[in-house]
Amino acid sequence: MDEETVKLVYFIAVTGLVTLILLSVLAAIRRALIKQGWRIAEAMSEELDAASLPAAMANPAPQATPTATDTYQLPGHLIPSASRLIGMVGLVIMAAMYVGIGYFALYAAFFSPASLAYIDDLAKYFLVGSALFAPYAFNQLSSMMK
């Protein structure tokens, strides 16, 4: 076999091994979370506290007959969180990019080692991409200030 064929065989083997390890770890995490009864809808929600509600909603006057249109969310209930959703989407995008760059680094290591010098420039890209997490960070900071 010539040198290029050997490189290709090693590249496919290493990339396959990395992919297998990545998928195995993700499957193990998924199984563990399912076993514990974890639900993404609950993880993406935040608890409603009485301080963030108007006084009339936090302590509603008792009604003799509640109507079907009463939709009070009382403290302790979980409500959807847009900042957590944005943070999760950003995390998935950033993780996909890290995996892609990892595969590029593997490819470059076997076929074009000079290309590895450009990976340093990608740090700026990831720094800008971390702005996807800004809404979640500001939400957490504002909840700490309360």
Same domain assignment for residues 141 and 84: yes
For the stretch 104-122, pLDDT in tens is 888 888 888 888 777 777 7
3-state secondary structure of 61: coil
pLDDT at 16: 92
Q: Which residues span the domain enclosing 27?
A: 1-39
For the stretch 3-51, pLDDT in tens is 889 889 999 999 999 999 999 999 998 899 889 888 888 878 877 765 6
What is the DSSP-derived secondary structure letter of residue 133?
Answer: G
Same domain assignment for residues 35 and 84: no
Of residues 103 and 78, more confidence is placed in 103
pLDDT at 20: 94
Residue 57 lies in a domain: no
Q: What is the pTM of this model?
A: 0.59
In the predicted model, is pLDDT for residue 125 greater than 80? no
Please state the rounded mean pLDDT for residues 56-82. Answer: 58
Task: Tell me how many domains the chain contains.
Answer: 2
Residue 46 lies in a domain: no
pLDDT at 66: 52
Same domain assignment for residues 145 and 85: yes
User: What residue ranges in the chain does DSSP mark as E strands?
Assistant: 45-47, 78-80
Residues in CB range of 16: below 8 A, 6 or more apart: none
State the greatest distance between any 2 C-alpha atoms of the chain, in Å, as a whole number: 86
